[in-house]
Structures are given as structure tokens and as C-alpha cells.
Amino acid sequence: MVNGIHIYDMHYRNRNVVDHVGEKNRSRCPGNEEVSDSNVNQGVDEEKEEERIMEKCVPWFPSQPQKKRLKRVMVDRISALHDSVLLHILSFLNMQEAVCTSVLSKRWKSLWTSLSTVTFHNRRCLPEKSRPFVERVTRILENYRAGNMKKFAVDFMYNSRYASHVDYWILLAVQNKVEDLDLRFHFCSQIAVDQDVVEPHTLPHHVYFAPTLTSLSLLNCILGLNGAVAWRSLKSLSITQVDLTEDAFEVILSGSPVLEYLKINACRGMNHIDINSASVKTLVIQNCEAEWLDTLLLEISAPYIQSLHILGTTYGRVFRLINVSSLVTANLNYYSDALCHYTKLLLESLHHVKEINLGPYCIQILSMLEMLGWPSPPTSWKSLVLNAHLDEVDTPGILRLLLNSPSIETLIINKTRVGCSDLLLDSDVPDGGVICGISLVTGIMLPHLKTVKFAGYTGVGGLGAPTLELILFLLENANTLEKIIIVVSPGTDYRQDAQILLSLPRSSPHVEIIFRRRILY
């Protein structure tokens, strides 16, 4: 209450102004009439009118300041950012889109020329449609001014008529101190009849003396090695569909003193892989199929490598590991038509590794060996990753691995959608030997197993009888088991299987069964 006037919250529509001073003050208000509920309940317009009346009736009532209309000024806040921020934004665009930003303003005109990553992609098949792409790449590289190119990658349908352009691209990349060079040349089946067109590109001489090169990836190239190689900084080398002789391979290794990662994918002409460099730690052999110039056997001698991966299809090939004494991890996720005996010898050569990853083919080969009564030596594996369909056909192979791996601490099983059970169906396996229940095997103990993980859960009852039997076996024989993790997809109903698993007996008093939802990105 101020000067005899009670003022209520003006934000409410129904409010009253009570004047205790007298009729004299009341007569100051326009109309000299009392405000009724029907007059104050009309919306936003009447609220403003009440405020105007209050200003006239009560001189001290504060009036709202007049808002001045400000002149709108357009500010380009993006262009005001630092160059490093703008270049980071441009890095999310392909090269053609990044070049188009030069028309935005003077600030953007030459900004793209400082991009550290330069990539081009074009899979158009017909030669006449590739020429605009080739010419555009040439113009862009001629205007490139960064001087320190982190990566140059080109992926397009190659045509031998563009060989001089490609050599020019590589030269400009080397002159700009390229660190990661990725050359992927593809051939079109529509023009495969023209042998001159589909001939792979021969690498120019200056690429073998790139001092800043740290990573090199080649697809459908010819290594024109006429002398030494000086890749003093090269750490990663990946060659795909390249004719590679053993002599050229030796020259590459001798000229790459710090090479750490080597991948050979679908290459021809090699029957022996000798790696005596102490710097090479990882060797990947993928899709290494034998052709008419190759022999059946591929020998690998690499005493210093720590990780070996044999992947893809290897039809017509047999692998023999001569010296891999430093090997720590191995990944055998390949398909072959070789005899079981060779796969058995390969696994025996890896008995000393700590971590091993096996694909469906190897697991079912082990099942065949188990059914045929071929024993395998024990291993010192600590971590075992199995990629299997988890059906009755896989059961003998998995049991054999567990039987031979008493030191295993971690078991990871990735359930695949399909298996390769035709291997067993087409093989000479004794009658009734394929179906092997886990309950028939006794005396297996896993005293060091602590973690088990199943991936590929497919819903109610999705574990399947073989998987449930395997879990039951693990619960009964792993007396130090701490947790079993079952990865499920979002929205999957796993309550039925959870109740079954929680009711199973277990030898470890501290084991937990955890259903974990897989995160989709």
C-alpha cells in the first residue's frame, strides 16, 4: 500500500484498483467510473489500456521505456572464424564442393587451396565421361598451394589414355610433400575387350623417392622398379591386385626401414614371403588365391611380426608358417578348398600366440578333425574369438578348441548369419559324427576363464539349443568365471532366455549374466 492505494500484480487480467484517498482522486480517472470484470477480461489489448489509465490516475506509476528500432546489420560470423576452423569445416566436403566455396567471398576465394586432405572419386565407366573429371583434378592440383599435403587419394575408372595425367597428379602430390598417397584404379567391364585400355597404370619413377611418404595404398598398379626404393618415412604399405615378384618385394622391404604395417591383397607372383625387417609388426594376407603361375604352397617367414591376418578367399592355396616366433595375435578368417591336414598344421604353428581369431571355415575344419579322431596339441591362448553360426556342426570344433586351451581367460563368440556346413556334408565323416552334444564330453575344466561374450543375439529363443548347451557347459566347468555378456539389438525381447540362463547351475559363485544392448550408430 502506497499513498492509500493497493496495487496488485498487473500480470493478472482480473485486478482491481482501490482508491482510499477519496472521490477527488477518483474523479481524475477518465470516465470517472469503476472498472468492472467485463472490461478487464478482454485480452492483451485491454491490459495495455489499463496500464495507460493507471499512468494517468497515479502519476508515480512507472512507464515502459520506448524501444528504439535498431537498424539490422548483416554480420558474416562464419567468415570471421579462424582459418583452422574453416578448413576443418571444409574437410567434411568432397573436393569439388570445397572448391565451389571460392565464390562465396574474397575470404573464401583461395581457402580450399590450404586443405590438408585432397580426395577425388569418380566411378563413371565410359571414357568420354571420365575426361571432365581428369581435367578438373588437374586444374585443382595446379592451384593447390598448401605445400604440406597430408593425404592425396584418387579413386576412378582408369583408362590408359590418362596415364600422363595420373603421373602429373602424383608429381604434384610429391612436390606438395604428400604423406598419405592412395591410388585406386578400376577397370570397366564394358571396355575390357580393349587390352590397351585395361592395362594397369605403371607408377612413375619419382614416387619411389618421396621423402615425406608415410602411407601408400595401391590398387591395379604396376611396380616399375628399375632400382632402389627410398621410402625412408613409410610406415604403412597396402598393395592390391598387383603383380609382385619376390625380388621386387625384397627391394621394397630394403628401402622401407621403418615399415610397420604390410598388406598384400589379391597379389600374384609370390610363393615365398620373407620379412626379416625388425620394424614390420603387422602382416595382412587377403584373397591370396593361386593362379597358373603360382604353386599351391605359400611359405611365410617373419620372425619379428607380432600380428598376422589371413583373410578372404584363399582357394588353391596352402599356408606354411616357417618362423613366426614373435607372433602375439593371429586372425584366420578365410575360406579355402585345402585339405583339413593343412589347416591343422597351420593352427599348430600358432599354438604359442596369446590372442587368436578364427572364422567359420577353421571352426568347421576343427569339427571334421574331431570327428575323424585327429588330435591337436594344447595351446597357450589367453583370448579366443570365434566367428561361427553356432549350430550342431560347429559344436565339435568349439569343444576341441576349449579342450586344447586350458589357459584361456577371455572367450568371445560372434554369431554369424550363415555357416559353411556344406564342408561337412560333402566330406567323408563317419555316420552320426557331425551331431555331437556337449553333454557327451566330460572332464574339460577351464580354470582361468573369466569373461565370456556372445554377440549376435536374435530374439526370444535366439540363443538356440547349441548355444544354451555351450553356456551351460561354461557355467559348470569355469569355476573362476566372472561374467557372461550377451549383446542384444535395441528393442529385442530377451526376457525368456534370461529366465532360462538365470536358472542354470554354475560352479563359480560370483558369475554374472548380463544382457547388454548393442549401440547403433
pLDDT in tens, 260-310: 999 999 988 888 999 999 999 999 999 988 775 556 889 999 999 999 999
Phi-psi category of residue 32: left, alpha or beta, with phi > 0 → left and psi -120 to 50 → alpha: left
pLDDT value at position 86? 76
List all residues 6 or more positions away from 205 whose beta carbon is below 8 Å from its beta carbon: 224, 226
| Res. 477: pLDDT tops 90 | no
Q: Which residue has the higher pLDDT, 250 or 500?
A: 250
Cα-only R_g, the chain: 37
Q: Which residues pair with 486 in a beta bridge?
A: 454, 515
Confidence of residue 69 (pLDDT cuts 50, 70, 90): low
- Cα 181 from Cα 183, distance rounded (Å): 7
Confidence of residue 7 (pLDDT cuts 50, 70, 90): very low
Q: Which residue has the higher pLDDT, 51 or 121?
A: 121
pLDDT value at position 418? 62
pLDDT in tens, 81-114: 777 787 777 777 777 777 887 777 777 777 777 7
pLDDT in tens, 331-388: 999 988 777 888 889 999 999 999 999 999 999 888 888 877 777 778 999 999 999 8
Q: Are 416 and 456 in contact (CB under 8 A)?
A: yes
Task: Kindly report the number of other CB atoms within 10 A of residue 284's CB atom.
Answer: 17
List all residues 6 or more positions away from 292 whose beta carbon is below 8 Å from its beta carbon: none
pLDDT value at position 30? 43
pLDDT value at position 9? 36
Q: Are 121 and 94 in contact (CB under 8 A)?
A: yes
Q: What is the pTM of this model?
A: 0.78
Half-sphere exposure of residue 195: CA atoms within 13 angstroms, side-chain side: 0
Average pLDDT over residues 145-163: 88
Single out the residue of 192, 190, 216 nearest to residue 203, CA to CA: 216
pLDDT value at position 375? 76
List all residues 6 or more positions away from 195 whose beta carbon is below 8 Å from its beta carbon: none
Q: Which three cell numbers stand for residue 236?
A: 604403412
Single out the residue of 380, 378, 362, 397 nearest to residue 470, CA to CA: 397
Q: Which residues pair with 408 in a beta bridge?
A: none
**DSSP of 38-78, one letter per residue?**
HHH-S-HHHHHHHHHHHHHH-TTSPPPPPPPPPPP----TT
pLDDT value at position 67? 52
User: Angle, to 10 degrees, between the axis of helix 163-175 and the axis of helix 127-142?
Assistant: 20
Residue 21 burial (CB < 10 Å; 0-12/13-18/19+)? exposed
SS3 content of the chain, % helix, strand, coil (to 5): 30, 20, 50
Please tell me whether residue 351 adopts helix, strand or coil conformation: coil
Half-sphere exposure of residue 283: CA atoms within 13 angstroms, side-chain side: 25
